[in-house]
Structures are given as structure tokens and as C-alpha cells.
Amino acid sequence: MSNSSIKYSTNQLRDYSSIFSRRQSLSIIDGNLEGLESKIDRYDQSWRAKKSATYLEYIKHAYKVISTHYKNEYVYKNTLLNALIIKELGTENSKVFSEFRVGDSIADLAMFNGCSKVFEIKSDLDTPQRLETQLKDYHKVFNEVYLVVPQSKLKDFRHIDSEVGIIAVKKDNTIELVREAHYKDTIEAATLMTVLRTSEYRSMAKAYTEDLPKMSSFTQFDICSKILKEIPCDILNDLFITEMKKRKSNESFSATQFKELNQLFLALNLTKKGKSHFIANLNKPIRKLCTTHTLERANLS
């Protein structure tokens, strides 16, 4: 029986979704699989009877279910990574970040290669609340701003700022570029300062002035902010992209074998070694039902 014909309760779908949360992922890294064990016991005890079934296979099963019946933010981010962003990375000169703070907004995904791009996701489970404010914040810093929405809700978003690009996620989890984003390199220095770390805005200020004025830990923000405001927009844009490419980030993605987990790899900023450790923990065979019962009896004795 296919996943599309099975009925799942909302609680089960939310439970499956929690498998891809940061908290659950950190537990897996620590070798703690109890969260997965509880879900198998609650919904999928038949998996304990499957020959050689692993926790990795179970996670892939859970992803397939939510990607069909419960397209949350994780599914949208992962779809975008797999269908678009991974193809555009490919070099050491590209960076992608999850949960990228800009002013009072947090962008779902941000990418820096030849230019800066930001992606804001509004899934079926999201509301458009604060969208206008978020897009305004992104326009102050990024060259291109994209909105990612369900194809079924395109009509609800076509009215937004024409400079915003629109990407539709289809029912089969493929994407369609509905509208290209308008490119611009005007940057608001005050908003940019909310993005930058201390070492980054000092580096940008020094790159422009060559010799930084004397400053203390108490005055450096104001002094560098003043310098950045004096930099022409095109130069400021280039300096910003250069600094973001210096940031540590994970581009250790999987185009095929572990594509369900790419957003987790990004969110956790896992190195190749960390990714291998994560996968190794999941590749363990699922405990059999008889073993579970034996352990329960042992705990009761």
C-alpha cells in the first residue's frame, strides 16, 4: 500500500516531523535513539519484524510520509536544497546558511556565490503574518529575494512586490521558478550591521579604509558602522559577499543516498566526519520486538 493511500492522524504526522528537529538530531549524534524507538513502538511495531531494517530506513520512511501528507518547513527547505541550491553550490566559493538573521527577521535560507540570495518559505502550515516586514528587511541587504510557496497557493502571493522572485513547490516535491527576482545591489548599512559579526564588520571597514582608526570594544560598533555608511553600495555589496564566504558552513550534502537529511546537515553545520558519525548511528539495525520485550521484563524484575 502506498503512503498516499494511508490515513495518518495529525499527531502521528507531527511526531514524524519531530524526527527532523534539532533536538532529536542532537540526540542521534550522541547515540541516543530512544526518540526513534518510541515512535516505532507507538506507530510502527511491524518495523521490528522487518529483516535487517535500520533506523536510517525508518527515518527515510518518515520523511516520505510527511513530504506527502504534512509539508512543513523542513520539507520545503530540504526540497529547495535538493532541487536548486545544491546544483548552484558546487565550488568552495559558495556558501549557504539556514536560519540567517537580518534585522528583526530570520530568513529560512541564504546563499552567497556571485551574488547574495535569500529564500523565505511560506508552507501550507505557515501564515503570511509578518511577510511584508520580512521581505523589506531582506531587500535592505540581499541582491535577490525569493519567496517559496505551495503551487496550490500561488494566487495568494502573486500580488507581492514585483521585485521578489517566486518559487512554487509542486505536489510531487519538484519546484517551478514562477518569477525571477529583480537584482539590485543597494545595501542599507544599518541593517547590514545587524547581520555582521564583530570580526566581519571590522574586516570590511579595514578593507575600505586600509587603516582603522583607534577604537575600543565599546566604540568599535559605532565607528565601523559610520565607515560602512560611507562605502558606495556596489563596493559594500562586494565586501559583504566576501565576508559571508569566509564564514564556516557545511556544504557536505548528498545528492542521492541521504537527500532526505540535507537540511539537517545544514542546520547542524555538520562536517564530513560529523555527517559520517550521524549516519553510522542511524545505520544500526532496529531492535527486534522480542528483544524489546526481554528488556522490559528485565527492567521489571
Our measurement of the distance from residue 21's CA atom to the centroid of its chain's CA atoms, rounded to an integer in Å, reads 11
- Mean pLDDT of all residues in 57-61: 97
- Mean pLDDT of all residues in 110-134: 89
User: What count of other Cβ atoms lies within 10 Å of the Cβ of residue 103?
Assistant: 19
Model confidence at 210: pLDDT above 70: yes
Q: From residue 156, give the alpha-carbon distance in Å to each of 129, 147, 229, 288.
A: 13, 12, 37, 48
Report yes or no: 115 and 143 within 8 Å, Cβ to Cβ: yes
- Mean pLDDT of all residues in 52-58: 96
Confidence of residue 90 (pLDDT cuts 50, 70, 90): low
- Model confidence pLDDT, tens digit, residues 171-193: 999 999 999 999 998 999 999 99
In the beta sheet, which residues pair with residue 112? 95, 116
Residues of the chain with pLDDT > 90, as a percent, come to: 71
Model confidence at 297: pLDDT above 60: no
CA distance 218 to 196: 16
Confidence of residue 290 (pLDDT cuts 50, 70, 90): low
- Mean pLDDT of all residues in 241-252: 84
- Model confidence pLDDT, tens digit, residues 261-283: 999 998 998 888 889 999 999 99
pLDDT computed for residue 295 by the predictor = 46
How much is the pTM?
Answer: 0.87
Q: Where are the domains of the chain?
A: 3-71+256-293, 91-179, 189-246
Confidence of residue 291 (pLDDT cuts 50, 70, 90): very low
The answer to which of 8-17, 110-119, 169-178, 245-254 has the lowest mean pLDDT is: 245-254
- Model confidence pLDDT, tens digit, residues 219-244: 999 999 999 999 999 999 999 999 99
